[in-house]
């Protein structure tokens, strides 16, 4: 549970005063898209390392390096698995490709963590609303993120209650375990249904749904820093596309293979 918790930490917003935190969610989203495209499109160790360096710089700017390193430690097992599975199943170029796969995974996770570490759920919902998504749906999104910790707490409460009555959830045979998990799931589902009713009541009591088109309290505005990030992201994307489509990237990767034949 703790390992999983520290991994999820990589996507948990933390309030800080930095350049990235102050950006409009829409420009950060574009940055996320470009970084993800790059992590998926590139497939050699050197260019992925370059991408990772860029992401580390961005994480440093958002003062989130510590959280990132801590989460990577939690991810270590998964990274090792990716490496080993690739290494054992690939026909050739095993070391090179396995390292590439691990790096790609790290790059992709880091891209998402840059976004989620610096953007709150309601900023995101706000951006969705401005982009024309109905308030019901953006609210659904905010809520689903908001209630994750509550759900974890409820789960723990039910587990504790079951344990105090002598039910051991871990151990036992598979059949036994599955039966025990139904003991866990039924009260949890009932619990959450009741909670959702209470949340719905509270929403009604605060006038939710009174008007269709609302004016968000926080006005999203693209400032000069947003335009510069949008420009840099798009420029990066076009450079990447040009590099790949013109065949230069293929030349680069074959040169790498040629230089390091032992990989």
Partner 1 sequence: MYLVDLRDIYFKYLGDEDYALKGVTLTARPGEFILLAGPSGCGKSTLLRVLNGLVPHFYEGEFKGEAYVAGLDVRSTPTYALAKHVGMVFQDPENQLFLSSVEREIAFSLENLGLSRNEIKKRVNEVLEIFGLEHIRHRAPYELSGGQQQKVALATVMALEPQILALDEPTANLDPLSALEVLTLVHGLVKKKGILAIVVEHRLEIALRFATRMLVMNKGHIVADGKPEAILPQVRHLIGYPPVVIAHLLLSRKGLAGDGIPLTPEDLAAKIIEVVKWRR
- Sites of contact with partner 1 (CB under 8 A): 13, 15, 120-123, 139, 142-143, 146, 149-150, 195, 198-202, 204-211, 213-219
Looking at the Cβ atoms of 165 and 206, the one nearer to partner 1 is 206
Looking at the Cβ atoms of 174 and 205, the one nearer to partner 1 is 205
Looking at the Cβ atoms of 217 and 258, the one nearer to partner 1 is 217
Q: How far is the CB of 160 from partner 1 (least distance, A)?
A: 18
Looking at the Cβ atoms of 65 and 202, the one nearer to partner 1 is 202
Q: How far is the CB of 20 from partner 1 (least distance, A)?
A: 16
Q: What span, in angstroms and rounded, lies between the C-alpha atoms of 37 and 43?
A: 12
Q: Which ranges of 12-134 would DSSP assign to H, the alpha helix?
A: 25-41, 45-61, 65-89, 94-118, 121-130
In this structure, which long-range contacts are made by residues 189-193, counting pairs with CB atoms below 8 Å and at least 24 apart in sequence? 191/154, 191/157, 191/158, 192/151, 192/154
Q: How far is the CB of 141 from partner 1 (least distance, A)?
A: 11
Question: CA dihedral defined by 201, 202, 204, 210, rounded to 10 degrees?
Answer: -170
Q: How far is the CB of 207 from partner 1 (least distance, A)?
A: 4
Q: What span, in angstroms and rounded, lies between the C-alpha atoms of 72 and 85?
A: 19
């Amino acid at each position: 549970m703790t390992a999983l918790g520290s991994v999820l930490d990589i996507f948990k917003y933390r309030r800080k005063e930095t350049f990235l935190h102050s950006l409009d969610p829409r420009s950060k989203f574009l940055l996320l898209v470009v970084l993800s495209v790059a992590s998926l499109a590139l497939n050699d160790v050197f260019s992925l390392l370059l991408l990772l360096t860029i992401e580390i710089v961005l994480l440093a700017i958002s003062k989130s390096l510590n959280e990132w390193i801590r989460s990577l430690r939690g991810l270590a097992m998964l990274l090792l698995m990716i490496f080993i599975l690739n290494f054992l199943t690939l026909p050739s170029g095993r070391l090179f490709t396995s390292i590439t796969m691990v790096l790609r995974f790290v790059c992709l996770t880091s891209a998402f963590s840059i976004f989620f570490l610096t953007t709150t759920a309601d900023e995101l919902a706000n951006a969705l609303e401005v982009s024309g998504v109905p308030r019901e749906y953006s609210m659904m999104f905010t809520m689903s993120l908001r209630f994750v910790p509550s759900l974890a707490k409820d789960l723990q409460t039910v587990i504790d209650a079951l344990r105090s009555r002598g039910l051991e959830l871990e151990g036992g045979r598979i059949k036994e375990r599955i039966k025990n998990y139904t003991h866990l799931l039924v009260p949890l589902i009932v619990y959450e249904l009741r909670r959702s009713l209470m949340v719905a009541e509270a929403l009604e009591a605060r006038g939710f749904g009174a008007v269709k088109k609302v004016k968000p309290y926080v006005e999203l505005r693209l400032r000069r820093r947003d335009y510069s990030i949008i420009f840099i992201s798009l420029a990066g994307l076009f450079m990447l596309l040009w590099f790949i489509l013109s065949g230069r990237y293929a030349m680069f990767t074959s040169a790498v293979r040629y230089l390091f034949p032992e990989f």
